[in-house]
Amino acid sequence: MKKNILFVISNDNIGGPQKSLLALLERLDYTLFNIDVMILNPSGNLKELFPKEVNVLKADKLLTAFTMPSDSIFYTLGVFLKELKIRQFILALKAMFNYKIKKRPMNQERQKFWVENSKHLEQSDKNYDFAFGILGLSTYYVVDCVNAEKKYHWIRSDSRMLNRDVGIENYYFKKIDGALSVSQECESIFNDMYPYMNGRTKVFYNYLPLSFYDSFSDNTVLSKDSINLITVARLDPLKGLDLAIKACKLLVDKGYEIKWYVLGDGKGRKEIEKMIEEYSLQEVMILFGFKLNTLQYIKQTDIFVHPSRAEGKSNAVDEAKYAGVPIVVTNYPTVKEQIDNEYNGLIAQFDEVDLSNKIERLIKDKELAKTLGQNSINEQNEVVDPNSFLCSL
């Protein structure tokens, strides 16, 4: 008999976690599983790329409003008014006041709102063997609203960096059957924070959605008249684009003819554009915006730079390793699970001088750059069969 599995994800914008889910869905044997995907904030395009066997459950407007998406707070308030949810309208206003005026973390305000109001949400009318929560309040939805034999949280990042209310997290994590982690380091951090999860957390590495990349190639060709660097990241302070801009300026001042392409978008775009202008790098540091086929661009560059301050297990770094492009990363806590310094990449400290020095080293030492890239290709991990893994849970 087929197993019924539900994946719940906070949104279907195409970022790293969404690509990983897509890659997993591409590898599943649909003679073994019936797969549903619930998207709490269905405003993106990911659902159009799922295999035809996947049943997409679209959240209604009220459920989406209960998650309080940060990019559509006025929409949220409008939904509450239209549905005559006056109490929720007032509590949402209070959460926004606490965030905007009192400078309290929005993640925590969102958690508190959910705890106070989730009892008003409808229960899922389907029974599942497994249900997985991915990102945001997805695990909370799984715990509160889903009937499943086993419920799992999916650890996508360094849990210390999420700035969430640990008391509320504890309340929910004590109600789940286990957790999956994208890396051993993320598993260790998570278990240190929530010791009762020891023995109930398993590592399940990301896949790259290769068939997805094949479907979305374009004709963009990067100029070969300069040294091409690339960063693939959400435009967010955690991703370290400020370090990249400062490092770029140091390299330009030394006379290097470089183009530094940045693939990604986000709420920090205006600040980054302003900083690029302040450093007079408009012709050097190019914000390409969001691109579906990031791998296509990575393959055309000379050096991949990942200046992040926090990661789980970076999809972008895995893409660069797959492409055999030499890598420079910053020394965020989980980096050593993907990069062995001096073997398949160079690890820089969190300052623009060391970051620029590591990049300069690869510009000067072509043999080292070639060796790092080849080592990445040679060490491609054996892929775990997801069908066997899910059946073993």
What residues form DSSP beta bridges with 203?
Answer: 181
The model's confidence at residue 12, banded by pLDDT at 50, 70 and 90, is confident
- Domain ranges, residue 154: 3-211
In-domain check, residue 392: no
Domain boundary among 170, 188, 211: 211
d(CA 138, CA 153): 8
Q: What percent of the chain has pLDDT over 70?
A: 99
pLDDT (0 to 100) of residue 342: 97
Same domain, 234 and 362: yes
Please check whether residue 388 lies inside any domain of the structure: no
Lowest mean pLDDT among 17-31, 44-58, 107-121, 151-165: 44-58
Q: Is 240 found in the same domain as 168? A: no
One domain for residues 221 and 206 = no
Same domain for 283 and 190: no
Task: Name, of 37-46, 212-221, 275-284, the range with top average pLDDT.
Answer: 275-284
Domain boundary at 211, 242, 275, which?
211
**CATH code assigned at 341:** 3.40.50.2000
Contacts of 51 (CB under 8 A, 6+ apart): 25, 26, 28, 30
**Does a structural domain hold residue 391?**
no
Summarised one tens digit per residue, pLDDT across range 211-253 is 777 777 777 888 888 999 999 999 989 899 999 999 999 999 9
Same domain assignment for residues 201 and 275: no
In this predicted model, what pLDDT tens digit does every residue of 174-187 receive, in sequence order? Answer: 999 999 999 899 99
Nearest to 298 by CA among 345, 228, 246, 371: 228
Question: Same domain, yes or no, for 123 and 71?
Answer: yes
Same domain, 35 and 78: yes
Pairwise CA distance, residues 358 & 7, whole Å:
40
CA 90/CA 107 separation, integer angstroms = 18
Q: Is the pLDDT of residue 379 over 80?
A: yes
Tell me, yes or no, whether 147 and 267 share the same domain.
no
Same-domain status, 57 and 159: yes
- Look at 358 and 389; give whichever has higher pLDDT: 358
- DSSP sequence for 13-27: S-SHHHHHHHHHHHH
Residue 27 within a domain = yes
Residue 48, helix vs strand vs coil: helix
List the Cα angle 237/240/241 in 5-degree steps: 90
Q: Would you state the pLDDT for residue 382? A: 62
Higher pLDDT, 313 or 256: 256
Cα 176 to chain centroid, rounded:
22
Confidence of residue 259 (pLDDT cuts 50, 70, 90): very high
Question: Distances from the Cα of 376 to the Cαs of 82, 143, 205, 212, 302, in angstroms?
Answer: 54, 39, 16, 22, 14
Selection from 303, 354, 311, 310 nearest residue 328 by Cα: 303
* Exposed/middle/buried for residue 47 (C-beta within 10 Å: 0-12, 13-18, 19+): middle
Q: Which two tokens stand for residue 353?
A: 């001088």
Domain shared by 247 and 363, yes or no: yes
Mean model confidence pLDDT for the chain: 92
Kind of pairing between the strands at 3-11 and 33-41: parallel
What's the pLDDT band for 308 if we cut at 50, 70, 90? very high
Q: Give the Å distances, CA to CA, from 292 to 14, 137, 217, 219, 338.
A: 8, 25, 8, 13, 23
Give me the residues paired with residue 148 across strands.
Answer: 128
The answer as to whether 40 is a domain residue is yes
Domain count across the chain: 2
The CATH number given to whatever domain includes residue 105 is 3.40.50
> In this structure, is residue 344 part of a structural domain?
yes
Average pLDDT in the 307-326 region?
92
Mean pLDDT of 197-214: 87
pLDDT of 161 higher than 90? no
**pLDDT score at 63:** 93
Q: Does residue 140 have a pLDDT over 80?
A: yes
pLDDT for 206: 85
Confirm whether 309 is domain-assigned: yes
> The whole model's pTM is what?
0.87
Nearest CA to 58 out of 73, 36, 34, 76 is that of 36
Domain-ending residue, one of 211, 227, 242: 211
pLDDT of residue 251: 98
Question: Can you give the pLDDT at residue 381?
Answer: 63
Average pLDDT value for residue range 328-354 = 95
Average pLDDT over residues 78-100: 90
Q: Rounded mean pLDDT of 126-148?
A: 96
Q: Is 159 contained in some domain?
A: yes
Residues 56 and 162 in one domain: yes
Query: Residues 116, 182: one domain?
Result: yes
- Strand partners of residue 180: 154, 202
Radius of gyration of the chain (CA): 22
Confidence (pLDDT) at 16? 79
